[in-house]
Structure 1
Amino acid sequence: MATIRLDQDPTKSAAALFKMGTATGPIAPLADRIDPKYRGALAALEKKSSVPADTLNKLKTWAAGMVLFGATAQTLGVNSADGVEEHLKAQFRAQNKPIEGLETLEQQLGFFDTMPEPEQRQFLEGVVDQKSDDAADFGKMLGAWKEGDEKGIAKSFDKDMKKSQALRNVLIARRNAHWADAIVQRLNQPGTQLVAVGAGHLVGTDSVQAMLAKLGYQAVRVE
């Protein structure tokens, strides 16, 4: 089985994030890196997080956005331990089956680290700009996922990504292309493998299936 995250250990993940995400030179305070209209929301979100403002100010913009996203996820009641991925991993471990990753934690963070600063700021503003209907939208996305509704899933992700095509390229397109290459390499090896990825990676013109098609492979949906 291949998963989109190799390690769910929060301590290890945080260490990697702060190691890669801490600026090595002078950097503007976080509030100065976003549109003034978002500064009040930023201050409120900083209070919700467990990270001091002084620490956030030393982070690269993308890293600060990821740290603060954790606070928004808590608001929505999202817990990575509840995901299908963790249940699959537990089943495989119980059967003593090997578990691999399509990317390492460092590679995943590296996609963010290569974003130009203007795009990092768009990402941060998207995290800070919480809407009153976010919880309802999240519920709709889960409903679409449960029903296997590709159009519904795509609609949810398109709403989140519409502010920045560059961000979509980082979060979805580039990673999907990387995963497709890894899957093709695995197909050249004997045996059967289950590949589990997030639903947002399986819809749209830059889905994993679309990337596989570019490499000459056809993915067929089975019920």
Structure 2
Amino acid sequence: MKRLSLLSSLLLTALLGVGCASTPAAKPYSPVDTGHAFLWEVKDGRGRGGTAYLVGSIHMGREGELPLPPSMETAFAKSDALVVEVDVNKVDPASMQKLVMELGRLPDGQRLSQRLDPVTLTLLDRAAQRMGLALANLEPLRPWLVGMVLSVTELQKAGYQQGHGVDRAFLTRARDAGKDVLELETAEGQLRMLAGTPDALQDLMLRDQLRRTREAGAVLDQLISAWKAGDADGLAALILEGANDATYRPVYERIFFERNAQMATGVDALLAQPRTHFIVVGAGHVVGPQGLVALLQQQGHTVRQLTRTE
């Protein structure tokens, strides 16, 4: 029980990182400095008068590694409310830990190694050895939770923390400024989405994560380079690479594309209001042909990526 408590606490640290839980199989990447911020201005295209500023967030960072460009600060100051995937300030750790253990444990008498595809199990054993983890400690857990635990453990070892992510920075600013904070999803909803994923797809999600050849910290280093450069195409190529593989496409449908469609509907509703909303979601949800930028354009809204200084 103590071991499970520690693992569920690690999950809470990464709760906002569901969109990046399946880290990409990193390939060589050289940042292309576009002069832009990872920030888009969205103007309502249906005559209702709403405006939104859409930020692609890196959820975990090292202290001082994710400086906010002036245009983000300006856009936030002009906004009436902050909108995030999940407001972690509303999450009760004790209740969430209880839910994690309810949803993330296998039924008594079952073991992870009995349920995984042999290929996935071999990859998991190699990863556990590389990280110095005992595979026996993961046996009581469902594959979705194992993937989260491994990812967060690696990122924490590399010095990354959720407290230094972009969304947490704006949550702090919103609290200090007395701005309203709205959620596009909920912590419980994210957990139930993962837990409700069919077993075969959970196995595939874990295998997609384990098949990469570089550690999670090195992968996130690349994503941060793309974020700083405002390189939306480069970040999409990195984080959504696996979506081009027919075998792993269902993983990205579940983690990104289905949720992107739901988020786009929520943003469209916000644009119906004559207010300005500052929206912060994981960068992987913003980019690509099925990302929020593309979906909002398809809805008829005017979307423009801002420079770092405007």
TM-score (norm 1): 0.84
Identity %: 24
Cα distance in 2 between the residues matched to 1:114 and 1:21: 10
Q: 2:105 aligns with which of 12, 22, 43?
A: 22
Q: Are residues 1:3 and 2:84 paired?
A: yes
Q: Determine if contact 2:154/2:216 at 8 Å carries over to the other structure.
A: no
Deviation at 1:154, TM superposition (A): 1.0
Cα distance in 2 between the residues matched to 1:95 and 1:119: 42
Cα distance in 2 between the residues matched to 1:96 and 1:39: 45
Match for residue 180 of structure 1? Answer: 264
Q: 2:154 aligns with which of 47, 72, 75?
A: 72
In structure 2, relative to structure 1, the CA distance for the partners of 1:87 and 1:45 (3 Å cut) is same
Cα distance in 2 between the residues matched to 1:10 and 1:42: 31
Task: Give the secondary structure class of the aligned counterpart of 1:99.
Answer: strand
> How many residues were matched structurally?
219
Q: Deviations over 1:75-112 (max 9, x none)?
A: 33321111011111111111111111110012112322
The answer to which structure has the higher strand fraction is 2
Cα distance in 2 between the residues matched to 1:70 and 1:136: 13
In structure 2, relative to structure 1, the CA distance for the partners of 1:134 and 1:60 (3 Å cut) is closer
Q: 1:91 aligns with which of 151, 156, 173?
A: 173
Cα distance in 2 between the residues matched to 1:156 and 1:39: 22
Q: Are residues 1:41 and 2:123 paired?
A: no
In structure 2, relative to structure 1, the CA distance for the partners of 1:15 and 1:68 (3 Å cut) is farther
The answer to which structure has the higher helix fraction is 1
The one-letter code matched in structure 2 to 1:114 is G
C-alpha RMSD of the superposition: 2.7
Q: Are residues 1:217 and 2:298 paired?
A: no
In structure 1, stretches of 5+ residues that fail to align are none
The one-letter code matched in structure 2 to 1:144 is A
Structure with bigger RCO (C-alpha 8 Å, 6+ apart): 2
Deviation at 1:137, TM superposition (A): 3.3
Deviation at 1:42, TM superposition (A): 4.8
Cα distance in 1 between the residues matched to 2:98 and 2:212: 27
